């Protein structure tokens, strides 16, 4: 051991290990809300960066002479960058970067820049100071090893594995079956650390990709039996009441339900949506929860059209666009529906140009169809008011009946508004993101009112089913201090965070009397609800969702990490609460049947998606989608379909 310690260059290595270890731990404590509950978890949080630091930096010992220190510095920087990337990502998403997320970043290109930059802070230089220290030490000391130290590497490797195994054993004692049953990345990082989680995620990603190759038609049987056994019979009062009508979906970017009926300085933030929530012509669902994972808006789209859950890591849109799907627009082709998507951004964002083909969407009106001048655009694309205005001629050009969806963009983090776009007052809660949210949400509300008025002028309002939904949360847990003020609470608890995942769902079906619906529901439930309104029975389709208007509707709402909400229980971060009172419950008081249901629901959906099982299953009357039949290139003849505003571009 003395020889090992004295070996030239090893002191530099040990300094690098200690610096990375301590910095990582500090990063955990300052930036991640991991729910540390006991002494064991505190110790593990401190220890878990050590095995990764030893393991990865140890590879630098295999290099000779000056390359050894250079290699250690490069590895140290890469690990520091991974840590910092997770910190920035966590500041908004309260989640950790996975390999599929990295693939999404490639797909979404540089359009994430503004949001990412707004999450960075001057103090973040702390996460790279130790790398600078190592560079200075390497230059000043300048005593590289004379030979590569394979012996030192073997000792370091063995030490890192030993530390990891002890870490894992203790973690398993506190959280049994950690690596086999947990959907929650918070648990994995809390017990194993960000670096070990990245390795785990890589293994899981490889496993997921291999499932498709190994799947065959026999794998469909279990899923089919389960989903048909859980099929909800449509409510005769509503089944087919909107048959033959157009369908218009509107994704309400980042809109959460707490905003409905909320006032700033005595003024309603969303006066138009408030009217819809209280009239008798619209269904308003006040216990509707988003169920998105890392795919956010794209996950919401996927669930709305396919009634399957998103992936545990990454986005279906990015990672599974080659799958065979049986989406709502594809199902409606048998009813002679034309389908189209409207989005004031590039086709490739969230890989929509490929995913929409897999879903059988006929037309995709992207940024090429809009006047994308500086005044009309912000953040991720076109502002909502000009977007809806310029979409109307395109919508009118479609043969009826049509299935369409509109993806709004203005109400997006960090929610800043351009001068002149709104005169609505900002909030005053000590947090610019939260304060800006009220202005941004008001602008969205005005754009929706404008869109409704235009639909009425064109006669489409009385011929359509209009579905509007909040796609995911807008304000993350990192803004809980300000949100406590917004909600008039002393603090925001885990229970409160779960309740804040409510997002608005409105369904206006022309000629059908609406009402406020208190049933608990989620994104996967919308597709069967709409199809049954249109007179299409979903009993032969493999859908995870449950018709919300059915008398048999299931009110257990699974989240992608295995937590759930029902009228009875709220499970979040491994704890159970009484949904009505918010009181924390002891596990001995819990009926675990809802836990089992959630696990089964996610498992069945994952089997369909990861195994691409719908390629082996074709319901009667359904025609399989051939993605090569679709072309979203804007041709010259498309110009005749656009408005006068488009001709003036």
Sign of CA dihedral 197, 202, 207, 211: positive
Spell out a b/e string for 548-571, using b for 16 or more CB atoms within 10 Å of the CB, else e. bbbeebbbbbbbbbbbbbbeebbb
Please say whether the beta carbons of 9 and 109 come within 8 A.
no
Task: Tally the C-alpha atoms within 13 A of residue 585's C-alpha that lie toward its C-beta.
Answer: 18
CB atoms within 10 A of CB 136: 9
CA distance 175 to 172: 5
Q: Going by C-beta distance under 8 Å and a sequence separation of 6 or more, which residues neighbour residue 520?
A: 287, 288, 289, 555, 556, 557, 565, 566, 567
CA distance 427 to 412: 16
Percent helix, strand, coil in the chain (nearest 5)? 55, 10, 35
Q: Going by C-beta distance under 8 Å and a sequence separation of 6 or more, which residues neighbour residue 24?
A: 49, 52, 53, 83, 193, 194, 195
Q: Going by C-beta distance under 8 Å and a sequence separation of 6 or more, which residues neighbour residue 595?
A: 564, 571
CA distance 225 to 613: 14
Would you name the residues annotated as active-site residues? Answer: 297
CA distance 418 to 401: 37
Residue appearing with tokens 């908004």 = 92
Partnered with residue 517 across adjacent β-strands are: 285
Structure tokens at 324: 């065979």
């Amino acid at each position: 051991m003395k020889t090992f310690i004295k070996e030239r260059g090893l002191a530099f290595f040990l300094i690098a290990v200690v610096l990375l270890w301590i910095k990582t731990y500090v990063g955990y404590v300052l930036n991640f809300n991991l729910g540390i509950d006991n002494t064991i978890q505190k110790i593990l949080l401190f220890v878990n960066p050590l095995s990764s630091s030893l393991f990865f930096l140890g590879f630098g010992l295999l290099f000779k002479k000056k390359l050894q220190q250079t290699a250690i510095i490069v590895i140290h920087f890469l690990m520091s960058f991974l840590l910092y990337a997770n910190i920035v990502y966590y500041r908004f998403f309260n989640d950790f970067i996975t390999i599929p997320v990295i693939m999404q970043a490639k797909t979404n290109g540089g359009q994430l820049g503004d949001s990412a930059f707004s999450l960075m802070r001057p103090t973040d230089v702390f996460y790279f100071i130790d790398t600078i220290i190592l560079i200075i030490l390497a230059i000043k000391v300048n005593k590289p090893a004379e030979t590569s130290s394979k012996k030192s590497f073997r000792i370091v490797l063995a030490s890192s594995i030993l530390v990891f195994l002890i870490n894992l054993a203790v973690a398993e004692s506190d959280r049994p079956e950690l690596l086999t049953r947990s959907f929650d990345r918070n648990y994995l990082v809390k017990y194993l650390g960000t670096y070990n989680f990245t390795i785990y995620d890589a293994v899981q990603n490889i496993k997921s990709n291999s499932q498709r190759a190994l799947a065959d038609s026999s794998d469909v049987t279990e899923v089919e039996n389960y989903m048909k056994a859980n099929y909800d019979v449509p409510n005769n009062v509503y089944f087919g009441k909107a048959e033959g009508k157009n369908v218009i979906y509107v994704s309400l970017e980042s809109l959460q339900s707490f905003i409905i009926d909320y006032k700033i300085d005595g003024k309603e933030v969303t006066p138009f949506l408030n009217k819809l929530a209280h009239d008798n012509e619209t269904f308003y669902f006040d216990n509707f929860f988003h169920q998105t994972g890392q795919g956010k808006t794209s996950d919401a789209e996927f669930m709305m059209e396919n009634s399957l859950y998103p992936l545990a890591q990454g986005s279906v849109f990015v990672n599974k666009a080659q799958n065979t799907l049986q989406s709502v627009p594809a199902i409606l082709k048998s009813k002679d529906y034309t389908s189209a998507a409207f989005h004031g951004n590039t086709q490739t964002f969230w890989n929509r140009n490929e995913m929409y083909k897999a879903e059988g969407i006929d037309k995709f009106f992207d940024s090429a169809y809009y006047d994308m001048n500086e005044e009309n655009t912000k953040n991720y694309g076109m502002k909502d008011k000009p977007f809806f205005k310029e979409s109307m001629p395109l919508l009118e050009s479609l043969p009826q009946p049509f299935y369409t969806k509109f993806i709004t963009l203005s109400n997006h983090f960090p929610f800043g508004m351009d001068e002149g776009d709104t005169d609505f007052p900002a909030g005053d809660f000590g947090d610019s993101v939260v304060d800006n949210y009220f202005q941004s949400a008001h602008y969205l509300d005005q754009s929706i009112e404008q869109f409704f008025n235009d639909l009425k002028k064109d006669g489409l309002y009385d011929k359509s089913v209009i579905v509007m939904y909040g796609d995911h949360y807008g304000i993350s847990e990192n803004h809980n201090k300000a949100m406590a003020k917004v909600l008039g609470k002393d603090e925001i608890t885990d229970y409160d965070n779960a309740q804040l995942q409510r997002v608005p769902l409105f369904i206006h079906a022309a000629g059908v009397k609406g009402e406020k619906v208190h049933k608990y529901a989620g994104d996967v439930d919308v597709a069967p609800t709409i199809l049954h309104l249109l007179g299409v029975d979903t009993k032969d389709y493999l859908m995870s969702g449950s018709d919300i208007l059915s008398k048999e509707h299931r009110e257990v709402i699974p989240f992608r990490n295995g937590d759930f909400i029902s009228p009875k229980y709220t499970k979040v971060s491994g704890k159970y609460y009484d949904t009505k009172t918010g009181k924390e419950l002891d596990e001995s008081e819990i009926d675990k049947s809802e836990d089992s249901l959630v696990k089964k629901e996610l498992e069945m959906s994952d089997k369909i998606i990861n195994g691409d099982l719908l390629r082996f299953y074709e319901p009667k009357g359904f025609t399989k989608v051939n993605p090569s039949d679709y072309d979203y290139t804007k041709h010259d003849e498309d110009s005749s379909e656009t408005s006068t505003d488009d001709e003036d571009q």
